[in-house]
C-alpha cells in the first residue's frame, strides 16, 4: 500500500479493484460494533472489539507489539481461539514475510511471502500441513497498467481450487479494473473516479456477471467529506439494497460511525442500523 501511494510499481494482486471495493463496501456495517485501542507504556497496542450480530455477541482482544521491522499480533477471541501473526517487513529490499497460527487448531499454520518491485508484485503462501494448499499471485506492469493472476493448488487432491485473472488501469483520478473469477464463471468490472480531491469526493461502480446463472449484479456508490473530519458514504445495488453511513473522526485515529441498510423493495419489512465506535488514541 505504501509503495502504491508513492506511485511505484503495480502492487499486489489484491490491489486490483481495491479502491472501488473500499468505496462500495468498507465501513458499511449493519451490526453494532465497538472497538477501543489503548497503548501501554511498553509500546504494546491493545485493541478490544465487541460486535453484536442479532442475538449473538462476539468479541476479541488484540495485543500488538512492534520492534524495529517485526510486528507481532496476539488475537484472543470469545470462541476460545488465539491467533498469532508475526510480520517481518523489509527482511530484504521489497520483501515481507508473514507467519500466522491459530490455537488450538494444529493445521492452521500459514506462511506468506510478499515481494514488491517497480515492475512486479508477487505473493505466495502455503499452509504448514502435510498436504497444504499453495496460493500464488503475480502482477506485472507499472503504476499505469497492471496485469495479474491468482491461483490456489490443493496438493492433496491435485486440483486447482482457484484460478483468477485481472487487470488494473490507473490514469490520474480514474481507476478501472476487470477480473475473471471462479475459474472463468464470473467476471467483475469496477470503476473508481475522484471527482473532487479537496473534499475527498469520489464515485464508484461495480458490475458482476455470473455466466452459469446469467445473473448480473450492479452496485454504485459515492463518498464525500462534509468537513476534514466527517465523511458520508452511500451505495445501492440492483437488488434494491441501499446502504449509507456517516463517519466522524472526533480525535486522531478515533472514529464514530453510524451506518444503515434498507431494502427499498420491501422498505416496510427490512431496515437495519449499525453503530461502530473506533477509538485509537
Residues 6+ apart with CB under 8 A from 77: 58, 59, 60, 83
> In the predicted model, what is the mean pLDDT of residues 113-141?
95
d(CA 150, CA 123): 9
Model confidence at 35, in pLDDT bands (50, 70, 90)? confident
> In the predicted model, what is the mean pLDDT of residues 244-269?
82
pLDDT at residue 2 in the model: 41
More confident site: 107 or 23 = 23
Contact predicate 190/206, CB 8 Å = yes
- Reported residue count of the chain is 281
Number of H helices, E strands in the chain: 2, 19
Percent pLDDT > 90 in the chain is 68
Model confidence at 3, in pLDDT bands (50, 70, 90)? very low
pLDDT at residue 270 in the model: 59
List the grid coordinates of 153. Answer: 493448488
pLDDT at residue 96 in the model: 96
Model confidence at 9, in pLDDT bands (50, 70, 90)? confident
Model confidence at 151, in pLDDT bands (50, 70, 90)? very high
Residues 6+ apart with CB under 8 A from 18: none
**Cell 503495480 -> residue:** 10
More confident site: 167 or 105 = 167
List the grid coordinates of 143. Answer: 503504476
pTM of the model: 0.85
d(CA 280, CA 75): 17
**Closest of 29, 5, 49, 35 to residue 170, by C-alpha:** 5
pLDDT at residue 173 in the model: 93
pLDDT at residue 99 in the model: 96
List the grid coordinates of 110. Answer: 500459514
Range 4-40 burial, b when 16+ CB lie within 10 A, else e: beeebbbbbbbbbbbbbbebbeebbbbbebebebeee
Model confidence at 4, in pLDDT bands (50, 70, 90)? very low
List the grid coordinates of 147. Answer: 496485469
> In the predicted model, what is the mean pLDDT of residues 135-151?
96
Query: Could you count the other beta carbons within 10 Å of the beta carbon of residue 269?
Result: 7
Mean residue pLDDT of the chain comes to 90
> In the predicted model, what is the mean pLDDT of residues 10-22?
96
Q: Is the pLDDT of residue 265 over 90?
A: no
> In the predicted model, what is the mean pLDDT of residues 108-136?
95
Model confidence at 1, in pLDDT bands (50, 70, 90)? very low
For 195-245, the pLDDT digits (tens) are 999 999 999 999 999 999 999 999 999 999 999 999 999 999 999 999 999
Amino acid at each position: 500500500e505504501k509503495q502504491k501511494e508513492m506511485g511505484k510499481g503495480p502492487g499486489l494482486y489484491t490491489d486490483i479493484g481495491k479502491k472501488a471495493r473500499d468505496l462500495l463496501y468498507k465501513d458499511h456495517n449493519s451490526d453494532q460494533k465497538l472497538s477501543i485501542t489503548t497503548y501501554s507504556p511498553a509500546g504494546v497496542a491493545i485493541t478490544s472489539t465487541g460486535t453484536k450480530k442479532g442475538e449473538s455477541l462476539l468479541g476479541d482482544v488484540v495485543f500488538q507489539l512492534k520492534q524495529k521491522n517485526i510486528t507481532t499480533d496476539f488475537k484472543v477471541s470469545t470462541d476460545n481461539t488465539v491467533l498469532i501473526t508475526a510480520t517481518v517487513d523489509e527482511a530484504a529490499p521489497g520483501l515481507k514475510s508473514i507467519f500466522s497460527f491459530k490455537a488450538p487448531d494444529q493445521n492452521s499454520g500459514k506462511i506468506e511471502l510478499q515481494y514488491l518491485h517497480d515492475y512486479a508484485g508477487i505473493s505466495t503462501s502455503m499452509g504448514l500441513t502435510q498436504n497444504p494448499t499453495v496460493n500464488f499471485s503475480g502482477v506485472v506492469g507499472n503504476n499505469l497498467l497492471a496485469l495479474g493472476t491468482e491461483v490456489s493448488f490443493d496438493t492433496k487432491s491435485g486440483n486447482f481450487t482457484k484460478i483468477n485473472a485481472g487487470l488494473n488501469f490507473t490514469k490520474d483520478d480514474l481507476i478501472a479494473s476487470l477480473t475473471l473469477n471462479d475459474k472463468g464463471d464470473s467476471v467483475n468490472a469496477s470503476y473508481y473516479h475522484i471527482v473532487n480531491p479537496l473534499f475527498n469526493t469520489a464515485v464508484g461502480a461495480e458490475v458482476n456477471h455470473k455466466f452459469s446463472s446469467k445473473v448480473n449484479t450492479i452496485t454504485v456508490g459515492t463518498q464525500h467529506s462534509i468537513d476534514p473530519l466527517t465523511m458520508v458514504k452511500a451505495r445501492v445495488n440492483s437488488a434494491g439494497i441501499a446502504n449509507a453511513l456517516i463517519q466522524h473522526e472526533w480525535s486522531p485515529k478515533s472514529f464514530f460511525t453510524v451506518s444503515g441498510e434498507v431494502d427499498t423493495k420491501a422498505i416496510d419489512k427490512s431496515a437495519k442500523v449499525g453503530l461502530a465506535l473506533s477509538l485509537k488514541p
